[in-house]
Structure 1
Amino acid sequence: MQQHSFAMSLRSTRRWLGAALAGASLMLVATHAFAGGTEQLKAFVSQVRSAKGDFTQQIVKAPAKGASAAQAVPKPTDNSSGTFVFARPGKFIWTYQKPYQQVLQADGEKLYVYDRDLNQVTERKLNGALGASPAAILFGSN
């Protein structure tokens, strides 16, 4: 009887140890992935001076407070796409092609926003327009 109890205790300990190791492994992987992402961003910001490409932007609406589990999943509400080109510091052209055409262009000092539907250009100081946004990281000087 004591041998059976010892075997049960050993199995429980192994399960607990296995679960603890799995949890620790996941934490290490998550920490490494986060550190890797941070390091990649730092490397990108310090090494890349210019780039161009296509983009797709998806806006996701947060679920309402008190939403049921089925409603708690964030759902895409709007998609935009277009092209971009930038040269640091502060020069870029960001062109939205869908759902409507709009061009954001910066010359290092000013940001020009051209709305094709309105046939209108809005001009602002670049520093005030970007502020502490993610765009400031992408197009800034460091």
Structure 2
Amino acid sequence: MALPIAIMESIYREMVRYGLSLLPEEACGVLSGFRTAEGIWTADRFDPVANLSPEPRTSFAMDPAGLIPVLHAAAKQGREVVGFVHSHPSSAPIPSDPDLSTSWHTVPSHWILSLQTPSVPTAGVYRYFRDSSGRMRYEPLSFHILPDSL
């Protein structure tokens, strides 16, 4: 079983605010941070990335012109990609078939922010992987919101 993921409270709030600001379209971005000595991934930065999908209300495609600089900056700063984020404006935070078709299945986590009830956003966090037949699957990961005072 995979270890839990942690996210700083202010970063979680920032991610939610960004998702809400783009309703009714899907938002997307990158979480970066570090891995603790115990192996727990901890996100302490969120970088929004523009959604270039031709159908942004039901899908997302991160703009390479925004994504590549975020990835380079993280590497230059010694940070690691903790996960990719996108929102589901009108559905549950469960990976869809298009979500699972990502070529980024090796990142530690995929965060789906459900905004179907904007006053009560919910998040699901998953690890994507290929099973023995090569089919993409997902497993839920637990996550913890850490107070910023840590």
TM-score normalized by the length of structure 1: 0.27
Query: Hey, which of these two has a bigger chunk of helix by percent?
Result: 1
Greater relative CO (CA pairs within 8 A, separation 6+):
2
TM-score normalized by the length of structure 2: 0.26
